[in-house]
A and B are shown apart, each in its own frame.
Chain A
Amino acid sequence: MREYRWFDVPVNRKILVAYLVLAGLYAISALISPSFRTFVNFKHLLLQTTPLIIVGVAQSLVMLSGGVDLSVGAIMSLANVVAVQSWKGMGNIGFIYLFLIPLGLGALAGGINGLLIGKRNLPPIIVTLATSSIFWGFALLLMPTPGGSMPPSLALILAGGSLVPTIIFCSLVFLVTFFLQFTEAGRGIYVVGSGEEVARLLGINIIRVKVYTYALAGLITSLAGIFMAARMFSGDPMVGQPYVLDSMAVAVIGGTSVNGGEGGVLGVIGAAFIFNLLNNILNMLGVSTFYQFVAKGIIVIAAVAITQGSSLIKDQNKTLS
């Protein structure tokens, strides 16, 4: 994978591919349907894509460390459910709780993942699958059926227009990229993801890296949960369900390798838009929503197959099994 240097800072070139594809898709959509060109449609797409970008960033972080997080849907739902309830009766400053408590919970949940995976060395797939069940259980416990609400003014600010969401996901991507590129802790994730044996030889504390990676991912995921609460104007314990597979797809399309150690979050924005845009195109063409499940699966398979293909060509030293 070629790296594109920007003031000596490593930036993954694959990311550009995502944006090119996106531009192309956008052009096609605009040509196909006049209604697409309206601003309303754009706003709708933006709001739809924002949570996907957020979980995509979280999943990218985890994948960079060489793992996977199947509990993103659960953490998102938990945060969502907590958000719509935490501000009740807290008066004017309630909105602080609305943010702090879910975010704290998300970080805690992620931290638990990280500890189990890092310290006890259990495989990420099974750990996050199990914690997914646990966190979802808690979400259902707190709110068995959709309900709750949000302070209307806050909801409007967060999810009413298109400016604030854009600021949210742009600054998130910017901050995480900054973290990954300019801090020792961030680079540590890349080293651990590339190979734990080497990381250990280099004296890196693998447990610590995994804990803060998953904790950070949990924190970010809960942000998506809060956003959805604002958008839906209520809480839903199953809100995170479609996002588990999608987050993995978006991470991969955005340039992060499933094996870890390569990639970044800059491409997530483009990848998420591509994803939703493809679905929107299908909608516009009058294809029933059922086909979107099929389409989603095919897109994921295709995206991963393509990225796997290019990285395999580089592996000249490995036995071709």
Chain B
Amino acid sequence: MPLLQMLSITKNFPGLRALDQVDFSCEAGEIHCLVGENGAGKSTLMKIITGVYQPDGGEIWLRGEKVKIRGPVEARRLGIGIVFQEMSLVPSLSVMENIFVGIYPKAKMKLLDWQEMRKKTESILHEMGLSVDPRCLVQDLPLAERQIIEISKILAQGARLIILDEPTAALSHREVEKLFEIIKKLKSQGKAVIFISHRLKEILEIADLITVLKDGKKVGTLSKDEATEEKLIQMMVGRQFSDLFPPRYSGGCPEEVVLKVENLSVGNSVHDVSFSVEKNKILGIGGLEGQGQSDLLRALFGIEKIKNGKVILEGKEIFVRSPEEAKRNGIAMVPEDRQREGVFLLRSVRENLTIATLEQRQTLSIINIKEENKELQEIVKELNIKVVNSDQEVSSLSGGNLQKVIIGRWLIAKPKVFILLEPTRGVDVATKSQIYFLLRRLANEGVAIIMYSSDMMELIGLCDQVLIMYEGRVVALLEGEQINEESIMSAAVGRER
């Protein structure tokens, strides 16, 4: 009898069917990996198991009994534990306290027994192979160790089904090995582990079963023996995506260099990166998540501090220390986290679109409304933004339209360099295509486009050059025909070509 059985799970969101009658089951003592592209439905499925979302259709059975998981607290009580990428640890508290929050060992009169807590934590950590002082503060620990502490916490709370969401995204090889040891130990203890990841090679190493999701549907489940990288990729992608993307650059010869980056280092995440962006070409930055791509691009825009290196725009060296300066130099950036860094939620569409280019339409600081209206009309038409009128609240817009607003905001600025971080995250397929065609058109007009995407297919379909980063360094520069899944993947996991 399987530990977990999810039958015919369906989940709808406005304008999007995230999950379509998905079956998923997992046994005790089994390591089951869940794969699929971004947006395939993996995290939605997990959020349903952990009670964050409620399914619109289907049933969940746990240990042979039908259950309704109404919330995260209930999920925990049922023995389901999840480690998200955004951790649920309290940074300013110690390791032992984080593990035992809510289940503190107590001495007489309900007083906390710190000594007991430390001892128990020590044994748990020892089992995990982690030699960290339980009294250490979580904020002083590196990501890999925090992850193990999160796992410890879940175990301490009695989890028998452990879900890991992209745990290896920001880990080094050694750390991944350590994590795998822990996972194998959990398996031997009869726990069930669900492991979500993009890294096919790792999955093939650790999984007993692999389930592939695509566009909200289950494509199939392969066992350890059946699965190969090709089969998985085929199951994950296998669609005609050629119509989604516009034709790539066909010039052939190297063009004039618009932006050149030399030996750039940023904090601890980017080391000695050099590359150039040629006119009319779209440069994509790829690789596994968290390898420094974001920080690199944000540094070009002035949000992160450049430690070393040069940035040369149109032949002149520039120093960009803030987005304001970047703007002045003709650099624009669409940020990764739309909600946090991009959208002014309770303001109007007009304000959201014009915020970056207010200087263009003013005299003595007074806004020229006529000009603004004209500009708004043009951009809404150009990007096909579904808006009734530009003074409506931007919160009424769908994800795709919101993204268009943010792109539009910078389009008005007529940048020389256009940086986009995950430009189609949370965007429906039709809008994705629109954005791709837009970017190609901009490139043809001479704008240098640099794009970071964790969506491999996007890089392959759209970009003329792809830079792969691994542990903060450039490990491969692929061009034209070289841009394919195999070469991207192998570079991404650090194999030298």
Contacts and interface: CB of A to CB of B under 8 A. Distances in A.
Asked if A and B bind, the verdict is yes
B104 A187 contact: yes
A203 B73 contact: yes
A202 B97 CA distance: 12
B135 A191 contact: no
A319 B303 contact: yes
Interface in A255-310: 261-262
Nearest to A261: B92
Contacts of B303: 319-320
Contacts of A181: 112
Q: How large is the interface on A (under 10, 10 to 19, 20 to 34, 35 or more residues)?
A: 20 to 34
Given A7-B114, A8-B135, A183-B112, A198 B305 contact: no
Contacts of B97: 10, 187
B104 A261 contact: no
B305 A3 contact: no
Interface string A179-213: 00111100100110011001001111000000000
Contacts of B94: 3, 10
B360 to A, nearest CB: 24
A203 B305 contact: no
Interface string B86-114: 00111111100100011010100011101
A262 B115 CA distance: 21
Contacts of A9: 114
B279 interface: no
Contacts of A314: 139
A92 interface: no
A38 interface: no
A262 B92 CA distance: 7
A73 B423 CA distance: 52
Nearest to A200: B72
B114 A198 contact: no
Given A7-B114, A8-B115, A184-B104, A198 B76 contact: no
Contacts of A1: 92, 137
A198 B73 contact: no
Nearest to A186: B112
A316 interface: yes
Contacts of B480: none
B425 interface: no
A5 interface: yes
Nearest to A178: B111
Contacts of B114: 7-9, 182
B93 A7 contact: no
Contacts of B305: 320
Nearest to A259: B92
A279 to B, nearest CB: 32
Contact of B88 (A187, A202, A320): A202
A314 B88 CA distance: 19
A194 B92 contact: yes
A182 B93 contact: no
A185 to B, nearest CB: 10
A262 B90 CA distance: 11
A193 to B, nearest CB: 9
Interface in A1-42: 1-3, 5, 7-10
A88 to B, nearest CB: 39
- Counting from the closest, the 5 A-B pairs by CB-CB distance are A8-B114, A203-B73, A182-B111, A194-B90, A261-B92
Interface of A: 1-3, 5, 7-10, 181-184, 187, 190-191, 194-195, 198, 201-204, 261-262, 314, 316, 319-320
Given A3-B137, A8-B114, 7 more contacts: A2-B137, A3-B94, A5-B135, A10-B135, A187-B101, A190-B90, A320-B303
23 contacts: A3-B137, A7-B115, A10-B93, A182-B111, A184-B104, A184-B106, A184-B112, A187-B97, A190-B90, A194-B90, A194-B92, A194-B93, A195-B90, A198-B88, A198-B89, A198-B90, A202-B102, A203-B72, A261-B90, A261-B93, A262-B92, A319-B341, A320-B305
